[in-house]
Each structure stands twice: as structure tokens, then as C-alpha cells.
Amino acid sequence: MDPAVDAFLEMLTVERGAARNTIQSYSNDLDDFAGFAAGRGHGAAAADAGCCQCYMASLHARGLSARTAARRLSALRQFHLFLLKEAMRSDDPTSQLDTPRLPKPLPKFLTEAEVDALLAAAVEKPGRPGVLGRAALELLYASGMRVSELLSLPRAAVGAGAEVMIIKGKGGKERMVPLSAAAKQAAAALLALGGADSRLLFPGRDPRRALTRQAFFLLLKQIAVRAGLDPARVSPHVLRHSFASHMLARGADLRSLQMLLGHADIATVQIYTHIQSERLRRVVEEHHPLSEARSGRGVAGDAVPSDG
């Protein structure tokens, strides 16, 4: 191993108390760089900016992912900061390197059929857990609430005749969302079970406190299994994404979605634009005259002339 790399790893172990896996990850990444630098006649600590630039380019040429390249660049930067602090060199050859752009992960969501199966499974679950689970799922899917917002709901939020629900979100900001007929029905069934000794719609064992996230997550996983879904795919946040994705797929606009989800910045909801893009593609395919011509239907019902 390159002595400078060895000194860096020793610093991570002794001074920072880094975990064994972290040390191993740095070791693997810096060994790879040291091998590349050696091939160009440099030691790892003496590599210049050009060598570092070529190394990063080689990662792309080798087909490594942007995430892997970003991790290796981070290791290089930490290594060279160490060299500067230890006066082992007077410059940082990584200072001008660009961080690889990481692809934004698309939000995970369930299909409409899967949500229907989840709701049906909650209805079939016997006793209070089934009534509670159905009310929670209907409210989550009808509003796109966060789980923290759901579990802190007061009973009064879905009282008799309520058409809308006031949700207190991040920073204490309130927003108003409409209640679907199914959500109102499920909430009414939960209220009918009693529990008026608690101000909360979803009280825990101690009626003064809300149901815990852990207890709700366990109930949700049980319902997912009954629905024939992989429980690892089902969570309150996935239902929030499902609400947003299905709304956009059916024609909702981003500004309305921003208000319903309680986001301060519309840029936050732009992760769902892949849904809009797909919907617009279908609209063009179904209604644009050129698309009709190319599919063999012709324009305005006319036959498409043949080449001959």
C-alpha cells in the first residue's frame, strides 16, 4: 500500500474512530487511485491535477456509476485535505474537479390497483385494527399527508359533516385538504368505536399520546401482507407518493399538488414531472394528427395513401 494512503487510513482509525467498513471503503477507493497514478509514473500523494482528472474520466470509461464515481472523488478530496494539513503537499489537485451528477431517484409509488387491494385488505382485517387501518389508509391516500401529520390529527379534524380537513404541517403551517367520501366514511367508523377520552383520532395505548410510528408501521405491513403486496414496498411515504403520482396522472397541476402536499417550494414537487411527461406523451399519441397518420389511421378518417 502507498505509504501516504496508509498514513491517511491510520488517521481515520485513530483520530476519527472510523468504522471498519468505512476504513475498508476508503482503502479500496484509494488503492484503485494509487494503481492508476502508478501507471502514469506518480505516487498517490504526488499525483497532479491532470492525473486526477484522467482518473475520474477513466471511471466513466470503465462503466462505473455516477454514485461510485462521486464516492471515489470524495475519498480523493479527503485524502488530499489530509496531505495539505500534514504539509505533505502544498496544493490540492482535486479542487477543480467536478462532482459527478447523480441521477435524481424517481419516487416509489403503488399502482391504483395496488392501493385498492391495500384498502380492501384493511376492510377485511377484523376488529379495531382493521377499522383503524382503513381510516388511516383512506386519509393518507385521500390527502397525501405525512405520517407525522396523520398520527397527530385531533378527533375534531374529521368531525360530523366535515368536508375538509385542516392539517398542521412542518413549521406549524396549516393547510386545508378536501375529504373524500370514502375517507369520511372510514373516519366516521373509527370515531364510532369510541375513544372520546382522547383528543386524538389515532391514540396509542395511553390515550393522551398518539399511536407510535412503530405501531402504525407494523399494522401497515400486516395489511400489505393480507393484500398480497411486498410489505417492503408499502409505507406512509409511498402512499404520499402514490397520491401525488395518481393525481398528476389524472390531470392535476403541479401548483395544486404543491398546496395539497404542503410544500413551500414548487420545485419540491417537480420530482413527479415524469408522470406528467408520460401523460403528455399519451395525449400526443392519441390526439396528434401525425401520430394518427403514422399508426395507419390517417388524418380526419382518411386512408393513408400508399407509396405506389
Residues 70 and 117 in one domain: no
45: containing domain: 3-85
In a domain? residue 92: no
Residues 132 and 275 in one domain: yes
Name the strand (E) or helix (H) holding 267.
Answer: none
Indicate yes or no: pTM above 0.75: no
Paired sense of beta strands 174-178 and 164-168, if any: antiparallel
Range scoring the smallest mean pLDDT among 64-78, 86-100, 260-274: 260-274
Residues 152 and 26 in one domain: no
C-alpha cell of residue 197: 377520552
Cα 290–296–298 angle (5° rounding)?
55
**Residues with a known catalytic role:** 146, 170, 237, 240, 263, 272
Query: Hey, is 263 helix, strand or coil?
Result: coil
Q: What end-to-end distance do the CA atoms of the chain give, in Å?
A: 73
Q: Say if residues 154 and 199 touch (Cβ distance below 8 Å).
A: yes
Give the CATH number, domain containing residue 55. 1.10.150
Query: What confidence tens digit (pLDDT) does each residue in 105-163 have?
Result: 667 889 999 999 999 999 999 999 999 999 999 999 999 999 999 999 999 898 777 88
Residue (of 163, 173, 137) closest to 261 by Cα position: 173
Query: What confidence tens digit (pLDDT) does each residue in 199-225 have?
Result: 999 999 898 999 999 999 999 999 999
In a domain? residue 97: no
